[in-house]
């Protein structure tokens, strides 16, 4: 069964907002504006995606984990959380994926003179803040496959010290979904086309499953408050050239994904095709961009599988 791009446009709520701005050579961004998803892909575009998908052999089937590092540039403890996420990514290369999601008005809104940049994604950042009550509980926080942290009263977000244990537990699970992402990018037209191939390996009776798609950009430079800095050398404990990794730029299927299937059966397969008009090269550095795709349970929001793929 094939689901084409039109399924993404049935409801206005699925028109995703991304971040646009004038960008310097240092890959900074401010003044986010709405981005656009194309209304459809042509048969030729879909055929190109099918051909590109077929040229790349399927990787070994393993369980992957997505860490969502909920952060802010004015959060002095957030660099410690980012270091934890990065250490887990390096410990389990290719299996632990990380995205940096800037949230809350207090920690992520621009503040002059050091913080003129706004890394937040309109709508998405607000929904994350509201869903996880981040403005009240403070940062840093993080989600690991959006699964409950037993040590945090089964909360889906928790401080970074609890991430390693949940990552290990999630990686030990047997994969129930096979997931592939094939993104093609035309640097002339700035059009990103994407094929997501999903195969359910086990039945999920009575469950509704959602497909999420993120565009992230790596190595984005901007200011960051960092309490690890020596106050003698850095009185404000702020570094102006902090490197932000895998910053969330857009969520193409909404903050928590869009419905793909209800009660999937074992062996059921889907091919989803999406088109996305990227902002100008002066705004996002496409050579550092990639997509993170995940399948999640609609009711619990828990992610059952995730993959990351760079633009081809």
One digit per residue, pLDDT tens: the chain, 312 residues?
333 332 332 222 222 323 222 223 233 334 444 445 555 799 999 999 999 999 987 888 999 999 999 999 999 999 999 999 999 999 999 999 999 999 999 999 999 999 999 999 999 999 999 999 999 999 999 999 999 999 999 999 999 999 999 999 999 999 999 999 999 999 999 999 999 999 999 999 999 999 999 999 999 999 999 999 999 999 999 999 999 999 999 999 999 999 999 999 999 999 999 999 999 988 999 999 999 999 999 999 999 999 999 998
Q: Give the residue among 208, 198, 179, 193 at the shortest CA–CA distance from 268.
A: 198
Please tell me the distance from the alpha carbon of residue 207 to that of residue 52, in angstroms, as a whole number: 31
- Give the Å distances, CA to CA, from 260 to 37, 102, 196, 199, 209: 18, 27, 11, 12, 6
The answer to whether 258 and 277 have CB atoms below 8 angstroms apart is no
Where residue 291 falls (left for φ over 0; alpha for ψ -120 to 50; beta otherwise) is beta
Please tell me the distance from the alpha carbon of residue 292 to that of residue 120, in angstroms, as a whole number: 17
Q: What count of Cα atoms within 13 Å lies in the side-chain half-sphere of residue 176?
A: 15
Tell me how far apart the 2 most distant CA atoms of the chain are, in Å: 62
Q: Is the bond into 38 cis (omega within 30 degrees of 0)?
A: no
Kindly provide the b/e burial profile for residues 210-233, where b requires at least 16 CB atoms within 10 angstroms of the residue's own CB.
bbbbbbbbbebbbbbbbeebeeee
Q: What is the C-alpha R_g of the chain?
A: 19
Q: What count of Cα atoms within 13 Å lies in the side-chain half-sphere of residue 174?
A: 3
Q: What count of Cα atoms within 13 Å lies in the side-chain half-sphere of residue 244?
A: 32
Q: Give the residue among 163, 191, 151 at the shortest CA–CA distance from 37.
A: 191
Its domain, for residue 267, covers 2-310
pLDDT, position 56: 85
User: Strand, coil or helix: what is 130?
Assistant: helix
Residue 123: both structure tokens together: 């709508």
The answer to whether 183 and 193 have CB atoms below 8 angstroms apart is yes
Q: How many domains does the chain have?
A: 1
């Amino acid at each position: 069964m094939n689901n084409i791009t039109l399924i993404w446009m049935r409801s206005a709520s699925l028109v995703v907002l991304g971040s646009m701005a004038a960008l310097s050579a240092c890959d900074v961004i401010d003044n986010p504006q709405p981005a656009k998803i194309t209304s459809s892909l042509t048969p030729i575009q879909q055929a190109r995606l099918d051909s590109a998908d077929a040229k790349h052999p399927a990787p070994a089937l393993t369980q992957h984990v997505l860490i969502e590092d909920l952060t802010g540039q004015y959060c002095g403890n957030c660099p410690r959380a980012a270091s934890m996420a990065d250490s887990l990514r390096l410990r389990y290369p290719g299996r632990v994926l990380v995205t940096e999601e800037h949230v809350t008005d207090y920690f992520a809104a621009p503040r002059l003179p050091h913080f003129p940049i706004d890394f937040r994604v309109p709508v998405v950042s607000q929904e994350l803040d509201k869903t996880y009550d981040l403005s009240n509980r403070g940062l840093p926080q993080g989600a690991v496959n959006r699964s409950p942290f037993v040590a945090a009263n089964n909360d889906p977000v928790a401080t970074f010290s609890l991430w390693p244990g949940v990552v290990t537990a999630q990686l030990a699970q047997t994969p129930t979904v096979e997931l592939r992402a094939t993104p093609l990018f035309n640097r002339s037209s700035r059009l990103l086309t994407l094929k997501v191939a999903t195969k359910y390996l086990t039945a999920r009776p009575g469950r509704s499953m959602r497909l999420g798609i993120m565009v992230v950009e790596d190595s984005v430079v901007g200011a960051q408050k960092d309490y690890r800095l020596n106050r003698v050398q850095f009185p404000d404990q702020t570094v102006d050239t902090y490197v932000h990794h895998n910053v969330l730029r857009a969520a193409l299927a909404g903050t928590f994904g869009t419905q793909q299937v209800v009660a999937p059966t074992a062996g059921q397969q889907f091919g989803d095709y999406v088109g996305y008009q990227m902002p100008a090269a002066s705004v996002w550095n496409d050579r550092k961009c990639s997509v993170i795709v995940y399948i999640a349970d609609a009711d619990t929001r828990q992610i059952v599988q995730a993959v990351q793929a760079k633009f081809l």
